[in-house]
Amino acid sequence: MSYSDHFSIANLPYGIASTTTGAHRESAVVTRLEDKVVFLADLTLDVSDQAAAAFSQPTLNSLAALSKSELQQIREKLRSALSDSSVVEKHGFKLEDVVLHLPIAVAGFTDFSCSKEHVLNAGEAVFGKRNLPPGFLHYPVGYAGTSSTVVVSGTPVQRPNGVYRAGETIEYGASRAMDYELEFAAIIGKPTKMGDSVKLEDADDHIFGLVLLNDWSARDIQGLEMVPLGPMNGKSFATSISPWVVTLDALEPFATKAPAKEYPVSVFLHEKKENPSYDIKLEAEIIRDGKSTKICTANVSWMYWTFRDLVVQKTINGCNLNTGDILATGTVSGVGDDEHGCLLELTKGGRVEITLADGAKSTYLQDGDGIRMTANCGGGVGFGDCTGFLTPARPL
Amino acid sequence: MSYSDHFSIANLPYGIASTTTGAHRESAVVTRLEDKVVFLADLTLDVSDQAAAAFSQPTLNSLAALSKSELQQIREKLRSALSDSSVVEKHGFKLEDVVLHLPIAVAGFTDFSCSKEHVLNAGEAVFGKRNLPPGFLHYPVGYAGTSSTVVVSGTPVQRPNGVYRAGETIEYGASRAMDYELEFAAIIGKPTKMGDSVKLEDADDHIFGLVLLNDWSARDIQGLEMVPLGPMNGKSFATSISPWVVTLDALEPFATKAPAKEYPVSVFLHEKKENPSYDIKLEAEIIRDGKSTKICTANVSWMYWTFRDLVVQKTINGCNLNTGDILATGTVSGVGDDEHGCLLELTKGGRVEITLADGAKSTYLQDGDGIRMTANCGGGVGFGDCTGFLTPARPL
């Protein structure tokens, strides 16, 4: 599926692509209109030298580091240029004729815990208790992830080896509890200096755009390592993101309220923007033997903490932001049984089987399985998909 | 103090320096002999074009990425050149005439929990229980740290703001429990591909050298956020490392045994090297009002897990290594009361005062306090110091 209805003239996301022959064998900045991919350097856009140079870079980082106002000007010029169908006809490559690459050089990767439902469900699956962590209602609790293993949608994901509990004993081997996590993430554009903190009202200035993110998780490896330092080897083997970065400008028509705060928060998290979240519909499917089974629907707007909150929390202690940082939401889940954004929740820790489209029963992922996530606002603005297939573990 | 006795011809560590005037205003690779700093590009060393180019880079990464055998050849040539005192006389800058910079462009920062004594003492200080975490005896438990706030010794450290428990309430403000952690770290040279795992017998090939590391910690901020995702804001504001990277070749005469394993480990952690650890004496002092008080002595060889183990554990799940990665040990502590590598242990969570050199009582760090750590093998091989002074928090 190409999801061409996600990429109307109202979207114009950014990505990085190359072609196998011709003038674009070097990766460079592209946008997408329906099923056509256009290299920005091919257009006559009347932009600054800095912007023109950014168009030829193999990552979006130089573009993302431009000021919000310059990016908004570029977006208007791009929209104007591509409104002429002859321009698209002349410069557009068919989607199937380009290779899409990891859109950013990932600086840091920070993952937060934004979904109250996920935290309650995951707690129940692991500990049998629906407790919120001590910090959850006070700020978005987060942890540093591993930036070096972030890959673009389509990259195969190798089942990790590790050490885990197997009944009463501790064993070393290939993970037996491979899971996905349906997440969303902000890509940081404008950096900050170490020692500075971003105010909530300025947070959007630092967000270049959003992407889908699959925080692949080996639940057994994670289970043994979590106390007290949090997840590492259970997640550091791979994280997938979608190839298209959708700007906040494209998402503005879908801005919406966030859930009301259930407990008073500190002044640095007092939100004055009426619609600080986004109405973005999410779906996840498992693909086995070529057959797809939808396993989750969710919505970005359900999350207790917003992307703006993440920017503020990340920097409240003076930690800097860098262009190309990823701030992710953690698993996005809802209250319903069809709204669990990972198999840990859906299968209650691997104890309850789900039924796939062909009638087969399943808990965690098998080698060869794929996970496809999609995100769509409607109105011609969506994210396409973020997909990955699982390959067997490296022999011990 | 210059620690010139740490830097005999037997050491020859690598660093990055510049001068305020003259030919070396651009940062470049240096070594140190006693109190003289020598820019490698100034010497006639007969090295490969790649090595010569690496000498002029503003970080050690290009040098660190060279093969171990080439690095050993460079070291021999360097030792030979600097054995001629006229060469040192001609090319050496006085230590006080150069500025030392962060020696590496930090790729990822992973911090592990290698000291059994620290884990037991910290658990007692926080929870009143001397329990080992579930994974501790099975592999080095770790977490991803924040690479963007790693700074070189001498950089001021700003007290972080954050959210924490204050008695029965949750408050937002400047941390009231500023601590240091006496750590050591390996700097990764040779990278690996995602999906690969390093064998224990090959681990040293990937370690360019070792540094001192201070993992500054705000214990109150950390205390609220730790469950379940581990430390983030309580540590992400700053981490200091020493400016000199001491190579494993310089440390080889000080190789020694690691503690015997108390519990059988998985096959990937079966160590065949007789002396996989290093006898490196560590000290930490607190400096207040210009007066120094020694607060800890420790030794790298006390740690249950070695740097070799860290390399293996980091990659066992297919996570890659990158040149410039930092793999740190966590706090190094011993069994004695004068062997606590952080104030959390030494003051039992801020409840027991220590007496400083001038007779004053103290628990956690005050604004203006400094922490100086040193590491020395003896025999003319040491690390100098890693020092940082605390500045007041940013106004709320």
To which residue do tokens 């109307």 refer?
A8
Which DSSP string do the residues of B132-184 spell out, in sequence order? PPTTTTTS-EEEE--GGGEEETT--EEPPEEEEEETTEEEEEE-S-EE-BEEE
**Closest CA–CA distance from residue B241 to any residue of chain A (Å):** 16
Amino acid at A270: H
Residue numbers of B between 333 and 362 with CB closer than 8 Å to A: none
Q: Looking at residue A195, what DSSP letter applies?
A: T
Summarize pLDDT for B265-300 with one digit per residue, the tens: 999 999 999 999 999 999 999 999 999 999 999 999
As for the ipTM of the complex, it is 0.97
**Closest CA–CA distance from residue A221 to any residue of chain B (Å):** 9
pLDDT of A1? 72
Judge: B143–A139 Cβ closer than 8 Å, yes or no: no
Question: Is the Cβ of B389 closer than 8 Å to some Cβ of chain A?
Answer: no
pLDDT in tens, chain B (396 residues): 789 999 999 999 999 999 999 989 999 999 999 999 999 999 999 999 999 999 999 999 999 999 999 999 999 999 999 999 999 999 999 999 999 999 999 999 999 999 999 999 999 999 999 999 999 999 999 999 999 999 999 999 999 999 999 999 999 999 999 999 999 999 999 999 999 999 999 999 999 999 999 999 999 999 999 999 999 999 999 999 999 999 999 999 999 999 999 999 999 999 999 999 999 999 999 999 999 999 999 999 999 999 999 999 999 999 999 999 999 999 999 999 999 999 999 999 999 999 999 999 999 999 999 999 999 999 999 999 999 999 999 999
Instruction: Taking the CA atoms of B249, B250, B251 and B254 in sequence, report the sign of the dihedral they define.
Output: positive
d(CA B354, CA A299): 53
Burial of A263 (0-12, 13-18, 19+ CB in 10 A): exposed
The pair of structure tokens assigned to A2 is 């190409």
Nearest CA in chain B to A266: B172
Question: Is the Cβ of A396 closer than 8 Å to some Cβ of chain B?
Answer: yes
Q: Looking at residue B317, what DSSP letter applies?
A: T
Interface with A, mutate which of B232, B267, B313 (most A CBs under 10 A): B232
Question: Is the Cβ of A143 closer than 8 Å to some Cβ of chain B?
Answer: yes
Nearest to B329 by CA among B243, B254, B258: B258
Give B299's strand partners. Answer: B281
**Closest CA–CA distance from residue A363 to any residue of chain B (Å):** 21
The pair of structure tokens assigned to B396 is 């709320």
d(CA B184, CA B240): 11
CA atoms within 13 A on the CB side of B185: 35
Which residues of chain B neighbour A135 with C-beta distances below 8 Å?
Answer: 163, 224-225, 227
CB A223 within 8 A of CB A234: yes
With a cut of 70, which residues of chain A have pLDDT below it?
A: none
Question: CA A64 → CA A32, A188, A313, B149, distances in Å?
Answer: 17, 7, 21, 21
CB B285 within 8 A of CB B245: no
Domains and CATH numbers, chain B: 4-101 (2.30.30.230), 109-391 (3.90.850.10)
**Closest CA–CA distance from residue B266 to any residue of chain A (Å):** 6
Can you say which residues of B are annotated as belonging to the binding site for substrate? 222, 331
Interface with A, mutate which of B217, B317, B323 (most A CBs under 10 A): B317
**Closest CA–CA distance from residue B233 to any residue of chain A (Å):** 6
Burial of B124 (0-12, 13-18, 19+ CB in 10 A): middle
Q: What is the largest CA-CA distance in chain A?
A: 67
d(CA A67, CA A57): 17
Amino acid at A167: G
CB B283 within 8 A of CB B242: no
Which DSSP string do the residues of A329-389 spell out, in sequence order? ------SSTT--SBHHHHTTTTTS-EE-TTS-EESSPPTT-EEEEEEEEETTEEEEEEEEE
Which residues of chain A neighbour B231 with C-beta distances below 8 Å?
Answer: 143, 229-230
Which residues of chain A neighbour B139 with C-beta distances below 8 Å?
Answer: 163
Write down how long chain A is: 396
Nearest CA in chain A to B112: A229
d(CA A375, CA A383): 5
pLDDT of A2? 85
Q: Which of B151, B227, B317 sits opposite A221 (nearest CB)?
A: B317
d(CA B324, CA A331): 31
What torsion do the CA atoms of A324, B209, B246, B119 make, to the nearest 10 degrees?
Answer: 90
Catalytic residues of B: 118
d(CA A319, CA A325): 12
Nearest to A176 by CA among A323, A363, A373, A375: A363
d(CA A208, CA A187): 6
Question: Is the Cβ of B392 closer than 8 Å to some Cβ of chain A?
Answer: no
Question: Is the Cβ of A172 closer than 8 Å to some Cβ of chain B?
Answer: yes
The secondary structure element, H or E, covering residue A182 is: strand A182-188
Summarize pLDDT for A66-120 with one digit per residue, the tens: 999 999 999 999 999 999 999 999 999 999 999 999 999 999 999 999 999 999 9
Interface with B, mutate which of A152, A312, A317, A326 (most B CBs under 10 A): A317
Judge: A142–B266 Cβ closer than 8 Å, yes or no: no
CB A292 within 8 A of CB A357: yes
Count CB atoms within 10 A of the CB of residue A97: 15
Catalytic residues of A: 118
The secondary structure element, H or E, covering residue A85 is: helix A85-91
Question: Is the Cβ of A105 closer than 8 Å to some Cβ of chain B?
Answer: no
Question: CA A23 → CA A259, B35, B133, B311, distances in Å?
Answer: 49, 55, 56, 42
To which residue do tokens 């006389």 refer?
B89
d(CA B125, CA B177): 13
β-pair type (B161-166, B169-174): antiparallel
Judge: B138–A163 Cβ closer than 8 Å, yes or no: yes
Residue numbers of B between 227 and 266 with CB closer than 8 Å to A: 227-234, 236-238, 266
Count CB atoms within 10 A of the CB of residue B91: 17
d(CA A281, CA A332): 11
d(CA B392, CA B173): 12
**Closest CA–CA distance from residue A232 to any residue of chain B (Å):** 5
Q: Looking at residue A260, what DSSP letter applies?
A: P
Dihedrals phi, psi of A336, to nearest 5 degrees: -80, 165
CB B332 within 8 A of CB B183: yes
Count CB atoms within 10 A of the CB of residue A114: 28
d(CA B341, CA A280): 48
Judge: A194–B161 Cβ closer than 8 Å, yes or no: no
CB B24 within 8 A of CB B39: yes
Which residues of chain B neighbour A396 with C-beta distances below 8 Å?
Answer: 267-268
- Chain A to chain B Cβ contacts (< 8 Å): 185
Which residue intervals of chain B are DSSP H helices? 49-55, 61-64, 68-82, 85-91, 116-127, 219-229, 248-251, 307-315, 343-346
d(CA A114, CA A300): 10
Q: To the nearest 5 percent, what fractions of chain B are helix, strand and coil?
A: 25, 30, 45
Does A366 show up as a binding residue in the annotation?
A: no
Q: Which of A144, A149, A218 sits opposite B145 (nearest CB)?
A: A144
Interface with B, mutate which of A164, A178, A226, A229 (most B CBs under 10 A): A229
Vertex B33 angle, CA B78 and B249, to 5°: 55
Dihedrals phi, psi of A305, to nearest 5 degrees: -115, 145
Helix B219-229 vs helix A219-229: angle between axes, to the nearest 10 degrees?
160
Write down how long chain B is: 396
d(CA B228, CA B251): 38
Nearest to B235 by CA among B283, B175, B289, B275: B175
